[in-house]
DNA sequence: ACTAATATTTTGATTATCAAAGTAATTAGT
DNA sequence: ACTAATTACTTTGATAATCAAAATATTAGT
């Protein structure tokens, strides 16, 4: 690997770790101290509008149904999410966010918005496209190897 | 956020998740099935050459000494890492990799190399510099908010 | 009415994590 | 030289995250 490639690898790894760390510390400073990052990502996957089913959310998060079930138990207990049994097919559970869950969702969205804005600041439209192309490359590599 | 910004955010999140997923599935296909991703990152932080101390590795991974101690117990039990008590100062533990640990380390490095190469393929030197600049922006944002 | 299949939950086991208490070794203060 | 304070690490107790497999409940197929 070229020195530049090595540098980019190191920066990717550093950025990767620092994102989690910052997300974690932002939570602890907020009114949502009782949530872990994983729980926030679960809230994100439940989403605002569509009443996704348990299986759909589990798939989106790439965890087993059992894992999701446990974490939904916790989110319900903490007042962020709710279960709604479908009337069409009573095996199916639709997941939704409570008012508090939706608040959390919006806070996390805004964090992401800020992050991406800083990522792209000083870059013109053409340069942004290039970054997007690199991300597409990486996504292609990841899909190919799955 | 611009539609392009939104798209890049979504791609970042997707890539982010897919990297962990792919790393995890690569492990399960390899001879190192008994390791989790976290354990692999711990092996990485122990490193090949420098005999880092427990505190140094814990700091690099951003975990408490207690957490590291537990995970080193597991890595020692599984034959990937070893503890070496310093003769200078017998409170200090230097961590090292066993032969098996070094093998694992090299496998993981090569995975990263491949990933970065695909990330940067089709980009000329100037374009790569631009990607690096975007990463620096992001790193700056992350440092600033810590 | 059985039997299959599907959606989810529960259970038991392991890892990851922290804070706080514990142990052992070194350093500092007098 | 003794005692106290500091440092480096480990252990413990608690909780979250995770999976595979077993259990439960509902629906679909014949």
pLDDT band at B36 (very low <50, low <70, confident <90, very high): very high
B143 and A18 within 8 Å at the Cβ level: the answer is yes
Instruction: Using pLDDT thresholds of 50, 70 and 90, give the confidence band for residue A60.
Output: very high
Q: Whole-model pTM? A: 0.87
* Sign of the C-alpha dihedral computed for residues B88, B91, B92 and B95 taken in this order: positive
Question: Closest partner residue to A139 among B11, B134, B145, by Cβ?
Answer: B11
Distance of alpha carbon B114 from its chain centroid, rounded?
Answer: 15
Q: What pLDDT score was predicted for residue A13?
A: 87
Which among B134, B45, B77 has a CA at the least distance from the CA of A134? B134
Does A62 contact B5 at a Cβ distance shorter than 8 Å?
no
User: Considering only CA atoms, which of A70, A62, A75, A69 is closest in space to residue A104?
Assistant: A75
Partner-chain residue, chosen from A17, A118, A130, that has the shortest CB–CB distance to B137: A118
Contacts of A132 in chain B (CB under 8 A): 4, 7-8, 11
Q: Distance between CA B19 and CA A139 in Å, rounded? A: 9
Predicted confidence at residue A94, as pLDDT, reads 96
DSSP secondary structure of chain A: --HHHHHHHHHHHHHHHHHHHHHHHHHHHSTTTT--HHHHHHHHHH-SSS--BHHHHHHHHT--HHHHHHHHHHHHHTTSEEEEE-SS-TT-EEEEE-HHHHHHHHHHHHHHHHHHHHHHTT--HHHHHHHHHHHHHHHHHHHHT-
pLDDT of residue A115: 87
pLDDT in tens, A71-89: 999 999 999 999 999 999 9
Contact A98, A82 (CB under 8 A): yes
User: What are the tens digits of pLDDT across the range B84-131?
Assistant: 999 999 999 999 999 999 999 999 999 999 889 988 888 898 889 988
Taking the CA of residue B135 and the nearest CA in chain A, the distance in Å comes to: 7
Q: How confident is the model at residue B69 (pLDDT cuts 50, 70, 90)?
A: very high
Residues on chain A touching B123 (C-beta within 8 angstroms): 130, 133-134
Percent of chain A with pLDDT over 90: 51
Q: What is the dihedral of CA A124, A127, A131, A136, to 10 degrees?
A: 110
A9-21 b/e with 16+ CB inside 10 Å = b? bebbeebeebbee
Q: Nearest-CA distance from A146 to chain B in Å?
A: 6
Nearest nucleotide relative to A56: CA against C1': C7
| Closest chain A CA to residue B144 | A22
Task: Identify nearest nucleotide to residue A41 by CA to C1′ distance.
Answer: D17
Is residue B92 within 8 A of residue B53, CB to CB? The reply is: yes
Give the position of tokens 């700056």. Answer: B140
Mean pLDDT along residues A15-34: 86
CA distances from A20 to A36, A103, A111 (A): 11, 20, 12
Distance from the Cα of residue A130 to its chain's centroid: 24
Protein residue minimizing CA–C1' distance to C16: B67
Sign of CA dihedral A50, A53, A54, A60: negative
Question: Percentage of chain B surpassing pLDDT 90?
Answer: 54
Asked if A119 lies within 8 A of B141 by C-beta distance, the reply is: yes
Asked if pLDDT for residue A19 goes beyond 80, the answer is yes
Looking at residue B20, what is its pLDDT? 87
Output phi, psi for A85, to 5 deg.
Answer: -75, 135
The residue-averaged pLDDT of A110-132 equals 88
Mean model confidence pLDDT for chain A: 91
Judge whether A95 and A54 are in contact, CB under 8 Å.
yes
Q: Are A74 and A41 in contact (CB under 8 A)?
A: no
Strand pairing report for B93-97 and B81-85: antiparallel
Query: What structural domains does chain A harbor?
Result: 3-144 (1.10.10.10)
């Amino acid at each position: 690997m070229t020195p530049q490639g090595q540098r980019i690898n190191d920066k990717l790894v550093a950025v990767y770790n620092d994102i989690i760390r910052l997300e974690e510390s932002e939570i602890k400073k907020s009114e949502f101290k009782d949530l872990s990052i994983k729980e926030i990502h679960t809230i994100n996957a439940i989403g605002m509008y569509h009443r996704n089913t348990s299986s759909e959310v589990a798939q989106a998060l790439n965890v087993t149904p059992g894992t999701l079930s446990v974490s939904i138990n916790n989110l319900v207990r903490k007042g962020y999410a709710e279960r709604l049994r479908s009337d069409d097919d009573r095996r199916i559970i639709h997941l939704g966010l409570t008012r508090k869950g939706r608040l959390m969702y919006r806070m996390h969205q805004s964090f992401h918005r800020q992050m991406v804005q800083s990522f792209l600041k000083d870059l013109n439209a053409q340069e942004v496209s290039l970054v997007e192309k690199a991300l597409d490359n990486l996504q292609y590599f990841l899909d190919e190897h799955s």
